[in-house]
Structure 1
């Protein structure tokens, strides 16, 4: 069974390209095309959290601190003629987890697939095709009840141990003539995460333009920095010093970018905990 993996997606013919990615060596990472989301929309799109269920102490530092089998997220599929439930449980590791689908009605048809998407459930099909996601490169079973595992690091797994930036579970039908891929949305479920706060919760400051951090800053209506457009010559140390952030905090705030891509000139870094996984 091929695993789910973190992916960015291009627009246009991407649905068919994903559908044709039939081998383990197929590259899932696309370009940096962005779904633009306003700071106001981001505030309302923050993933829902509830109290932790059957967890270890609330100061857990990662998923591995949770007892295997702990329910960490759930959601209900509704609308578009499909109902059912998704449950996500800890697997004892900091990367990956167990997923179960229950009472999916009608049962998935051949070629349907599952992804967990960073965009809110209100996003359109076209936006979901572009959203940063965790996509499973195996078709779902044609059964109303099924379970499977996600992989660990180095095999398409998360680069972060905090998956709460994934806001929506999506069941996709394959494009016409393809065996799997992002054709059309069959059903969506808003994910409610029941995890303790695993992030660094940085207190943002902006010390202003300086060597290694001369890019443009986007702010909320309250004047709080929410994003930063990287300028040529910027460095991780410079950006971190400007905003009072460590490398780990920048990486946590931007789970959609590997550490080596955090200082690519022209990209926009997220500085807001509420908009992790979204693109500005």
Structure 2
């Protein structure tokens, strides 16, 4: 089943602050990193592989999320007045991910929308950026069959989305927090999914042509990589002992070609909103 709405499309024509999240794994498989020439001279790059670095560990085969319910969220109104209520249920089925709203009720005037956000409930304006929109919803009925797309969506694992959010269609009134979309109800998504990429660990084997940028580390392990002019995704992946598809999995919110200075996340624990600034910052 095709998605009922493009990711983030509900707000794209409303205000420029809303940005669109797309299938990161597809966006990254664009080949060359589109980098404009740097304004300062690029330092020489050591083209030799660092033979002193540890070799990437052997990887177990990637796992596929089995059919069935994989995530739920109970919607509650931040004001506590039960203006909006219901249960969000995410199911893996038939090679794709489906979302349903059960026991759904809304007293919000006008239409409402369901978003998935990669940030926690306490994030200000958490529906304004990098959110998956399911479009307009009926306000007093169950909503079955809302599609997130095929199973290869974000590398087959949508669990980097942390929060379900109900927003009202923008009415032109000012949000008290300055948000484009006001959250009327939120719920933390509880996921029950296997480790779909067991053993995925980036190991820096040294700079080379096509991957000459700097690496940040945490506890001695690579955590992010900063792109430089001339980089290619194949060379970056090869430098860290992973695949280009792994890069897409680790960076599901990447929605454009990389530019010099952009960063790629290299840790599974920082996948999604943990590696991207929230909209309120």
Q: TM-score, normalised by structure 2?
A: 0.68
SS at structure 1 position matched to 2:7: strand
1:226 aligned residue: 223
| Aligned residues of 1:110 and 1:140 also touching (Cα < 8 A) | no
Q: Does 1:207 align with 2:205?
A: yes
Per-residue deviation, residues 95-154 of structure 1 (Å, max 9, x unmatched): 3x22222234545542210111112222111x4412x22112x3111115322321545x
The match for 1:237 among 234, 237, 261 is 234
Query: Cα distance 1:103–1:151, how it changes in 2: closer, same or farther (>3 A)?
Result: closer
Query: Cα distance 1:194–1:60, how it changes in 2: closer, same or farther (>3 A)?
Result: farther
Q: Does 1:266 align with 2:267?
A: no
Where do 1:132-211 residues align within 5 Å? 132-136=130-134, 138-150=135-147, 152=149, 158-177=153-172, 182-211=180-209
Larger RCO, structures 1/2 (Cα 8 Å, 6+ apart): 2
Give 1:266 deviation, angstroms.
2.4
SS at structure 1 position matched to 2:153: coil
Q: Does 1:248 align with 2:245?
A: yes
For these two proteins, the number of residue pairs brought into alignment is: 226
| Aligned residues of 1:85 and 1:103 also touching (Cα < 8 A) | yes
| Aligned residues of 1:15 and 1:183 also touching (Cα < 8 A) | no
- Give distance in 1, aligned partners of 2:123 and 2:155: 24
- Give distance in 1, aligned partners of 2:64 and 2:268: 17
Query: Cα distance 1:141–1:182, how it changes in 2: closer, same or farther (>3 A)?
Result: farther
SS at structure 2 position matched to 1:4: coil
| Aligned residues of 2:21 and 2:253 also touching (Cα < 8 A) | no
- Give distance in 1, aligned partners of 2:160 and 2:3: 23
- Give distance in 1, aligned partners of 2:199 and 2:116: 23
For structure 2, the residue ranges without an aligned partner over 5 or more in a row are 23-60, 174-178
Q: CA RMSD in A?
A: 3.4
The match for 1:86 among 84, 88, 105 is 88
- Give distance in 2, aligned partners of 1:176 and 1:215: 45
Give 1:2 deviation, angstroms.
7.1
Per-residue deviation, residues 154-188 of structure 1 (Å, max 9, x unmatched): xxx9353211111111111121149xx95211111
Where do 1:21-170 residues align within 5 Å? 28=20, 61-63=63-65, 66-67=66-67, 70-80=68-78, 81=80, 82=82, 83-93=85-95, 95=96, 97-107=97-107, 109-125=109-125, 127-130=126-129, 132-136=130-134, 138-150=135-147, 152=149, 158-170=153-165
| Aligned residues of 2:12 and 2:20 also touching (Cα < 8 A) | no
| Aligned residues of 2:155 and 2:245 also touching (Cα < 8 A) | no
| Aligned residues of 1:200 and 1:249 also touching (Cα < 8 A) | no
Per-residue deviation, residues 248-268 of structure 1 (Å, max 9, x unmatched): 21111112236x73x532221
More displaced stretch, 228-237 vs 140-149? 140-149
For structure 1, the residue ranges without an aligned partner over 5 or more in a row are 22-26, 31-58
- Give distance in 2, aligned partners of 1:272 and 1:160: 15
- Give distance in 2, aligned partners of 1:108 and 1:71: 28
